[in-house]
Structure 1
Amino acid sequence: MEPRGADGCFLGDVGFWVERTPVHEAAQRGETRQLQQLIENGACVNQVTVDSITPLHMASLRGQAQCVQLLLAAGAQMQSIHQDEQESSLHLPLRPRHWFLPSCQVDARNIDGSTPLCDACASGSVECVKLLLSHGAKVNPPLYTASPLHEACMSGSLFQPCVITMPFIRLRFFEGSSECVRLLIDLGANLEAHDCHFGTPLHVACAREHLDCVKVLLNAGANVNAAKLHETALHHAAKVKNVDLIEMLIEFGGNIYARDNRGRKPSDYTRSSSAPAECFEHYESACPETPLTLSQLCRVSLRRATGVRGLEKIAKLDIPPRLIDYLSYN
């Protein structure tokens, strides 16, 4: 017999929305009272759809911080009761079946491998990110696809909502969240995590033209010349024709002569006489070997020597504030 979902539908039925429970619906819509009532009545907070999406995934993706908090608290309460009853020899009153399920799975994976933290970063909700991390969410889950840091660089500012419409789905994402990026980096996010589709978080931030995220990554010590199929962040900056991004990457030591798997330099992706093309021409004409001045080269060398969190180390140096500003790219 085929397994059935919470509503009695076959798990093999076409249409993955069929398996959503009232808990999923309340979590997605931010209906905190409804969610609280469902939890008090013994609803399972770990029920998954056929795409392995939990209510915590739904609440995190929508940036519903209060619902995230309720789900995490309910999971912790269930785990505590379960442990107490295991340790006690007394026969306690029979509880609803769902109370004996594991606590709310903070690192549960959906069909794409994403965790609730990935979804919270995709929504740009700093509050949701903090809640999940405080409950033990892994900042570097073992993924072959986008990490939480990738997602934070892919999305972004809570002030510029972007609506993406697909058949039967309408998702509201936020463009760019440097605050989420900083938070993840402070907690040890891997700056060079490699996604099989996008490359490093720096590749993603450049492809999406999120300058604030790019600067946070570079200041934290991200490799400006990291390559995916020999393609660097500077190739992405050239493709999106963003002069500010091109200049920033070059100032941090981006190699203007790097060639991708097609044998093309970043400048080869610009149109003749365009602003990005003229920007590359300016740097290429400065010197055949390097487009940077001696002071800029010294800054790049020092930043590379200080490594990850170099900005924090530079701020503690006993040197004039003006020099600290220069080394900090201020």
Structure 2
Amino acid sequence: MEPRAGDGCFLGDVGFWVERTPVHEAAQRGESLQLQQLIDSGACVNQVTVDSITPLHAASLQGQAQCVQLLLAAGAQVDARNIDGSTPLCDACASGSIECVKLLLSYGAKVNPPLYTASPLHEACMSGSSECVRLLIDVGANLEAHDCHFGTPLHVACAREHLDCVKVLLNAGANVNAAKLHETALHHAAKVKNVDLIEMLIEFGGNIYARDNRGKKPSDYTWSSSAPAKCFEYYESKPGSVVQILPYPMLPGTTIIHPGPQFASS
């Protein structure tokens, strides 16, 4: 394909850094008719801003599915990364747009990024879109993808208190005791003082005795006599409720405690 006059790039190639272009603006606002006219006139669909945002990033982040479709059909690079390392699929997951996620996947978007960067699954857990979480897992998303800032997707879902996402991850086999600086999902649940989340994690084998890099157990992050504290006290006082030894490396003698009665927040 020949470059269009004034483009500075091929239609499907990444262009030079620019300010936001009319293509970026139309894509972000969901102005599909204007976007199509720009594409037909030869506008470059892969021009990047100074922070490496492409029009496809802009459309995906706003959940503009029709514009995402137009851009992809015109040759937009499906796995372009912005300055933060995010792809359009990451942005679509951040927006919670299952339609955009499906479109990007149909054009070959990569589900698993390089090591130690936030993945689309992290973004879906951050936004609380359990539907996106399920879809990503179905197409092979790495449950244990580790971001140097956020930890695993389970850490993110727990920190944001997205119980539906947590349940989907755990049912899919996410490691409930995965650690970031020795901090587990149960530490996050204790910090946000969410009893339902605490009970769910313990039900799936969460280690109530795990210590973080400060030497603290999850219960150490609760207030005395609070509902979360009483919940931990119950499990810690029930050694007879042991159902099995954890199959993965943990502290010596670590056990799974069978969940007891619900603890209402008050």
Could you say which TM-score interval applies, normalised by the shorter chain?
0.7 to 0.9
| TM-score with structure 1 setting the length | 0.67
Mapped to 1, the partners of 2:240 and 2:75 lie a distance apart of: 49
Mapped to 1, the partners of 2:207 and 2:100 lie a distance apart of: 37
**What displacement does 1:145 show?**
2.0
* Counterpart contact for 2:17–2:47, Cα < 8 Å: no
* Counterpart contact for 2:155–2:188, Cα < 8 Å: yes
Structure 1 or 2, whichever has the larger Rg, is 1
**What displacement does 1:15 show?**
18
Deviations 1:198-223 (A, max 9, x none): 10000000000000000000000000
**What displacement does 1:144 show?**
2.6
Deviations 1:259-293 (A, max 9, x none): 000000000000000000000011111xxxxxxxx
**What displacement does 1:75 show?**
1.2
Change (3 A) 1:190 1:271: same
Deviations 1:171-219 (A, max 9, x none): xxxxxx0000000000000000000001000000000000000000000
Mapped to 1, the partners of 2:12 and 2:99 lie a distance apart of: 36
Deviations 1:42-70 (A, max 9, x none): 11000000111100000000000000001
* Stretches (4+) displaced over 3 A: 1-18, 320-330
Deviations 1:93-149 (A, max 9, x none): xxxxxxxxxxxx100010011100000000000000000000000011215321000
* Counterpart contact for 1:152–1:181, Cα < 8 Å: yes
* Counterpart contact for 1:7–1:19, Cα < 8 Å: no
Mapped to 2, the partners of 1:190 and 1:135 lie a distance apart of: 19
**What displacement does 1:7 show?**
11
Q: Count matched residues.
A: 248
- In the alignment, structure 1 segments of 5+ residues that lack a partner are 77-104, 157-176, 286-319
* Counterpart contact for 2:8–2:15, Cα < 8 Å: no
Change (3 A) 1:191 1:282: same
Please list, as runs of the form range in 1=range in 2, the aligned pairs for 1:316-327 lying within 5 A after superposition. none
| TM-score with structure 2 setting the length | 0.83
Change (3 A) 1:75 1:3: closer
Corresponding residue to 1:282 among 225, 234, 247 = 234
Deviations 1:224-260 (A, max 9, x none): 0000000000000000000000000000000000000
Mapped to 2, the partners of 1:40 and 1:2 lie a distance apart of: 14
**What displacement does 1:8 show?**
11
* Counterpart contact for 2:15–2:46, Cα < 8 Å: no
Change (3 A) 1:16 1:275: farther
SS at match of 1:325: strand
Mapped to 2, the partners of 1:263 and 1:324 lie a distance apart of: 26
Change (3 A) 1:47 1:218: same
What is the percent sequence identity of the aligned residues? 91
Mapped to 2, the partners of 1:241 and 1:14 lie a distance apart of: 46
After superposition, the CA RMSD in angstroms is 6.1
Change (3 A) 1:25 1:136: same
Mapped to 1, the partners of 2:23 and 2:149 lie a distance apart of: 33
* Counterpart contact for 1:152–1:180, Cα < 8 Å: yes
Mapped to 2, the partners of 1:132 and 1:51 lie a distance apart of: 21
**What displacement does 1:13 show?**
23
* Counterpart contact for 1:9–1:18, Cα < 8 Å: no
- In the alignment, structure 2 segments of 5+ residues that lack a partner are 249-265
Mapped to 1, the partners of 2:13 and 2:30 lie a distance apart of: 27
Mapped to 2, the partners of 1:115 and 1:206 lie a distance apart of: 23
Please list, as runs of the form range in 1=range in 2, the aligned pairs for 1:195-234 lying within 5 A after superposition. 195-234=147-186
**What displacement does 1:325 show?**
19
SS at match of 1:324: strand
Could you say which structure has the higher helix fraction? 1
Matched, 1:42 2:14: no
* Counterpart contact for 1:5–1:11, Cα < 8 Å: no
* Counterpart contact for 2:7–2:44, Cα < 8 Å: no
